[in-house]
Structure 1
């Protein structure tokens, strides 16, 4: 079979012919059909991000869609020929207070994740991928959707997990900070599918917000940020016609905390703010206002298995359509061009590598 390998950071990926993996106990062998690319794939491969690599050389690739080929001993809930989604978030299934966790095909998360990456160093950019059964999600009932379309599930899984952690209830008003970004746009559509009464789409560029307004059919209100916390807070509260029930922060590499603070201050009394972005600067939390307003601040990472199953159920029921995402499709052997394209991703766009002949 063929597989892409990162042999040295900063060098182009190498396409190699290798022996197919032998499926091990607790693992599943999957024939890959489509793999979505992260927008920061190029920077990651060049070693510009603070990520610890799996043992080199390894196959990168975090998510994917494929068909089960074989199961190892101890796997009880998958079958050959079954279509599945592969996701990278692997948490050790042991009775530990803080189980080790890793993002397969990408990096370690906890300080004790090196053993996980050594056991399963390879990601999804290979014709046959062997993964722990715990990171597979069954896609029964979705065979009518093309693999490339199903690959965009990864755009929704992360924000969907955060919205569920924030206890979004039907009819509530949600503010999404970073709505013009890759995962932020997914958060807006996820909130709508979960029954939000109104979604305030917050961003710095009006064009991607307008597309969300169109898809929201009257339930999405845009707020273009100006950079002043007080003015932006007032704009969000005005759009919400009062305070926001749940604010969801998916802002990227922000240089200041202004937009996050505006989302926080726009909360109604008893409101919640979920933090899932990648801002590196400090967030000055107003202690007194947090206390007086009963605000809840929630840091959240990724999603649970139950979250992913619920997301698939929404798609299966027709409550969340994946058709809103514009797919840029590239062949498996055109990976370098696909990585270049992924760097330019905006909002409701996704770069997908297809294994179809």
Structure 2
């Protein structure tokens, strides 16, 4: 088969002949139709992000494809089924604290690197081998829409945070970092789940205006100033009812004070879920007031990625018509143009923009 190979960090990807993968018990072989190219892929492949990604490697984080072969433990999947290749691979020998690797992308800690040594290659190839539970059936789709279904990659991360906070229909959600890829994905997902209103907090007025145009009166844009106390007050006054929960997706470049301003806008007994990168490049701690957390019964959770059952829930939202993938503008590239695709993804990042490698 052919695949895009990263021979070393900083080198261009090469579309070349490689040995096709073979599966064993507990694995599924998938013919890749479309694979998303994340906006920061160029930073991963150059080494700038310092991700633990071994080379040479076939990179690629997630894909849409059709089952080519199943192992003896598969009881539902059949050859020809459309599936989402979930890149979040978990160890199976510790249900309480499983190690995690993102197949074809990165690993966390010693256990994650052990997983990575086996589930090394990702989805930038004609075939990919994944654990059985990571080939999640998505039902019948139009092959022409396979690239659009790659939006699941981003949507699922947002959905993971919303499930963590147990967002309920009729609640008011505040999205901190709403003008980025994950923040905008949170908005469309929360509205699909029945949120009464979603407050979109950010500094990019043009994106806030676009979000308002897309989602109407259930979307409440709030332009942030950088003054923490003022921003908290503005957020609280943006709606006539209490804010039940906040999901933070602020990037590493943003100061902790911006995240703090959003979190402190939630009502007593409110919830906050942290999924962004604040503090990863240094700077101040989040420094939330202990008395405020305690006296107001505030719940604060961290969440990385999503639970495996989230994929099925997200697929149901799409097939039911509650979440419209047509919101995503997709630009497709042939696999021979993979390096141009990586450059395009970096220069065309933003809400509801998707770059995909069209392999079949």
Common fold: TM-score over 0.5 = yes
Partner of 2:98: 99
State the match for 1:197 in structure 2. 196
1:346 corresponding residue in structure 2:
350
The 1-side partners of 2:322 and 2:85 are apart by 22
- CA distance in 1 between counterparts of 2:140 and 2:170 reads 28
Cross-structure match for 1:164: 163
Q: Deviations over 1:153-187 (max 9, x none)?
A: 11210001100111101111000011110111000
1:240 aligned partner: 239
Determine the structure 1 residue equivalent to 2:293: 290
Query: 1:313 aligned to 2:313?
Result: no
Q: 1:4 to 1:134 in 2, by over 3 A?
A: same
TM-score by length of 2: 0.95
TM-score by length of 1: 0.96
Q: Is the CA contact (8 Å cut-off) linking 1:171 and 1:196 kept in structure 2?
A: yes
Are positions 1:301 and 2:300 aligned together? no
Q: How far is the alpha carbon of 1:96 from its aligned partner?
A: 4.4
Aligned 1:320-339 pairs, distance under 5 A: 320-339=323-342
- Say if 1:142 and 1:316, in contact at 8 Å, map to a contact too: no
| Cα pair 1:83 1:143 within 8 Å, conserved | no
Cα separation, 2, equivalents of 1:57 and 1:72: 27
Answer yes or no: is the 8 Å Cα contact 2:62–2:85 preserved in 1.
Answer: yes
SS for the counterpart of 1:93 is coil
1:262-282 CA distances to partner (integer Å, 9 max, x unpaired)?
111100111101100112242
Offset of 1:145 from its aligned partner? 6.4
Which residue number in structure 1 is paired with residue 115 of structure 2?
A: 116
> Could you tell me which residue of structure 1 aligns to residue 61 of structure 2?
62
How far is the alpha carbon of 1:243 from its aligned partner? 3.2
Alignment of 1:139-178 (within 5 A): 139-143=138-142, 146-178=145-177
Deviates more, 1:237-246 or 1:44-53: 237-246
Give CA-to-partner distance per residue, 1:244-272, whole Å, 9 cap, x none.
Answer: 10101011123411221111110011110
Runs of 5+ consecutive residues of structure 1 not aligned to the other structure:
none
CA RMSD of aligned residues (A): 1.4
CA gap of 1:206–1:144, structure 2 versus 1, over 3 A, is same
Task: Tell me the secondary structure at the aligned position of residue 325 of structure 2.
Answer: coil
Paired residues of 1:329 and 1:353 also in contact (CA < 8 A): yes
SS at match of 1:112: helix
The aligned runs of 1:190-229 (5 Å cut-off) are 190-229=189-228
Runs of 4+ in 1 over 4 A off after TM superposition: none
SS of corresponding position for 1:171 = coil
Q: Secondary structure at the match of 1:113?
A: helix
Q: Is the CA contact 1:242–1:268 (under 8 Å) kept in the aligned structure 2? A: no
Show CA shifts across 1:73-132 (max 9, x none).
322221100000112101112344312111111111243122211111100000111111
Equivalent residue for 1:49?
49
Is the contact between residue 153 and residue 322 of structure 1 (CA under 8 Å) also seen in structure 2?
A: no
Provide structure 2 residue ranges, at least 5 long, that are not aligned to the other structure: none
| Alpha-carbon distance in 1 for matches of 2:167, 2:254 | 28
SS at 1:199's partner residue? Answer: strand
